[in-house]
A and B are shown apart, each in its own frame.
Chain A
Amino acid sequence: MPDAGGALQPAGEPVLEAIGVSRLFDVSRPWLQRVLSGGRRQTLRAVDEASFAIPRGTTFSLVGESGCGKSTVARLAVGLYPPSGGDIRFEGRPLRTALAEPKLRRRMNMIFQDPYASLNPRWRVRDIVAEPIRAFGILKSAGQIRDRVGQLLNQVGLAMSDGDRYPHEFSGGQRQRVSIARALSSEPDFLVCDEPTSALDVSVQAQILNLMKDLQQRLQLTYLFISHNLAVVRHVSDQLGVMYLGRIVEYGPGEEIFRAPRHPYTRLLLEAIPDLKVTGSRRTPVAGEVPSPIAPPPGCPFHPRCPLANARCSAEKPGYTRDGAVLVACHAVEEGRSTP
């Protein structure tokens, strides 16, 4: 089934490739409680056979509602979680061996959602930014490190003198700039950005998104971008994956998916978004809510909310169907029951 990677990937070796990656979490109650009250082991399938490939210098976005597993993919991609199944490759080598080599390890980094929690409040900004440089031993002398930190701060639109200040002296947007400077300090070419702007106001979000685009062009960065905001995703993505209950249900070029969404979930998600153009108009809300990933529905995980569901959808898990450049996991699309 997971043919998503190889077939879709454009020319050039992907920086990161996931092949049928799954991640399970044990969410059972403690052993003693299970023995006493007769509960069973429970596992949560946070990511279910996800496959994708990110070519160099491009942005791959994962979008979905809370609990769909997109942040778990982010953590899998930098090795914070080992996968329970499948394979992740960084520049063609298994991620695990790549991580063991500092030379490769430093070439990936992460930007987190909350700039208030991801910076140590007791460190000066210059030490926060210098930490990866010191940890990887990239530069040795204090003077070199100071110059490099100044250069990094300039690159993200801060002044060298800002290095003497503490995180609490900065606004949310400025702190996110500090996070970006820190992520860039190990000279990475692959960045995982987990909701980097969702804690920010829109005007600040625009500044950060523009900055990230500039840096991508200048430094040939490759991004894995995680977000729940479809408008932001549309703005940044080259390739896009829509996740629902741990599965990538639609995968392909961002422009193509926004032009003609195939999967019923993607369509409903796009319709659910309030848009500036449609003043006063009524939207079609998606009915129902995301089911618990501990007990996902059988068959297609979306079938209880899907307007196109039939008996097959509730029994059989759909494989991927190719439609142009897009892969869709949906029986209705496969059988031609959906009219785009």
Chain B
Amino acid sequence: MKEPLLDIQELSVEFPTRRGLLKALDRVSLSLAPGEVLGVVGESGAGKSLTGAAVIGLLPPPGRISGGQILLQGERIDNLPPERMRRIRGRRIGAIFQDPLTALNPLYSVGRQLVETMQTHLRLPDGETRRRAIDWLQRVGIPAAEQRIDAYPHEFSGGMRQRVVIALALCAEPRLVIADEPTTALDVSIQAQVIEVLKGLTREHGTAVMLITHDMGVIAETADRVAVMYAGRVIEVGPVREIVQTPSHPYTVGLMGSIPSLETRVERLRQIDGAMPRLNAIPPGCPFNPRCPNVFERCRVERPELMPALATQAACWLYDAASLPAASPVPSAHA
């Protein structure tokens, strides 16, 4: 395997609060190869956005990295002084956030924002940056880019704004883009357009993407690999087809089953009873054990690490030969 572009090793993030430390990320390990699209899925509060924020060095205070490390092209970036991190952000790691209106400065024209980004990171002559800004607007599919370059963010619709944000994230030609819910704020017909633009441009430039979303549909058609997060941990990781069609972890199985399908109509959706534990009440052992249909004794005491499971890697004792009780049922996604 090629050297990973991004390597997150045993990353832990904690939030000191008055009532004690909250562990928001608990030994999260992920890696991205150059040009790869890694989907990160999970429910609200699972830690997927926090993982992205840690990589770009923008953890919301008072959050802090309490363990592990993040390597970008072999170089540690989790402990850099803010000034050095700022030069990496934008130049080597681009970011796309959910709400395009807050990601753009309302007081500057979109052209100026693009030009400024390129001047900061690429050291190009003045005329060249403007020409490139127009070029980028065209590539993300903004009609009449030459006229629109001097327009302000409020003059664009939601879908067009998100295209501008994509142009802004890609214009310094970073090797990695963190896209946190890039299509969640958009209508379905616009979502498809934006995903198409993001996919096309990142493939063209060989940019790796960490795509954070709760929309499994978007993941299914965009990502190469998927990491499933639950209660601050990665509980399953594998190729997208296997995660969607033959997931191993009982949580992933339940998650896939709970998505209503366009193809078939079922009387009742499969549901996982209960809710994800709060950060101050994560149970010992496997964090999913109180809701798990396949739970057994070991799950309540010992934390499982990622191990080879059906066609993926899952953090679940069901797949550890040593712990397997005689007749333990292996979950099936299409039961």
Contacts and interface: CB of A to CB of B under 8 A. Distances in A.
Interface of A: 65-66, 171-174, 201-207, 209-210, 213, 228-232, 234-235, 255, 258, 268-270, 272-287, 289-290
B271 A202 contact: no
Interface in B254-310: 254-263, 265-273, 275
Interface stretch (B68-76, B100-108, B186-194): B186-194
A231 B259 contact: yes
Nearest to B272: A203
Nearest to B193: A285
Contacts of A228: 187-188
A277 B272 contact: no
A234 B265 contact: yes
Q: In the complex, which range does the number of interface residues on chain B fall in?
A: 35 or more
A207 B271 contact: yes
Interface of B: 43-44, 157, 159-160, 187-193, 195-196, 214-218, 220-222, 240-241, 244, 254-263, 265-273, 275
Given A213-B268, A276-B217, A285-B189, A203 B255 contact: yes
Given A230-B262, A234-B261, A274-B192, 9 more contacts: A201-B43, A234-B260, A235-B266, A235-B269, A276-B220, A279-B241, A284-B192, A285-B196, A289-B189
Contacts of B257: 206
B241 A206 contact: no
B291 to A, nearest CB: 9
B253 to A, nearest CB: 11
19 contacts: A202-B216, A203-B43, A206-B259, A207-B271, A230-B188, A231-B260, A234-B262, A272-B191, A274-B220, A276-B256, A276-B261, A277-B261, A279-B240, A280-B240, A283-B196, A285-B192, A289-B157, A289-B160, A289-B189
Contacts of A278: 220-221
A235 B244 CA distance: 20
A209 B215 contact: no
Contacts of B259: 202, 206, 231, 276
A173 B272 CA distance: 12
Given A286-B189, A289-B190, A275 B275 contact: no
B221 A235 contact: no
A173 B267 CA distance: 21
B187 A279 contact: no
Contacts of A289: 157, 159-160, 189-190
B263 A275 contact: yes
A221 B160 CA distance: 41
Nearest to B239: A279
Nearest to B194: A285
B188 A272 contact: yes
A235 B215 CA distance: 17
B217 A273 contact: yes
Contacts of B221: 274-275, 278-283
A274 B217 contact: yes
Contacts of A286: 189, 192-193
B225 to A, nearest CB: 12
A255 B265 contact: yes
B294 to A, nearest CB: 16
B37 to A, nearest CB: 10
Contacts of B258: 202-203, 205-206
Nearest to B269: A206
A270 B260 contact: no
Nearest to A271: B192
A119 B270 CA distance: 28
A47 to B, nearest CB: 18
Given A207-B271, A210-B271, A276 B260 contact: no
B275 A204 contact: yes
A234 B260 CA distance: 8
A258 B271 contact: no
B203 to A, nearest CB: 12
Contacts of A273: 188, 192, 217, 262
A232 B188 contact: no
Contacts of A204: 43, 275
A229 B217 CA distance: 12
Nearest to A290: B187
A246 B220 CA distance: 32
Contacts of B160: 289
Contacts of A282: 196, 221
A203 B269 CA distance: 9
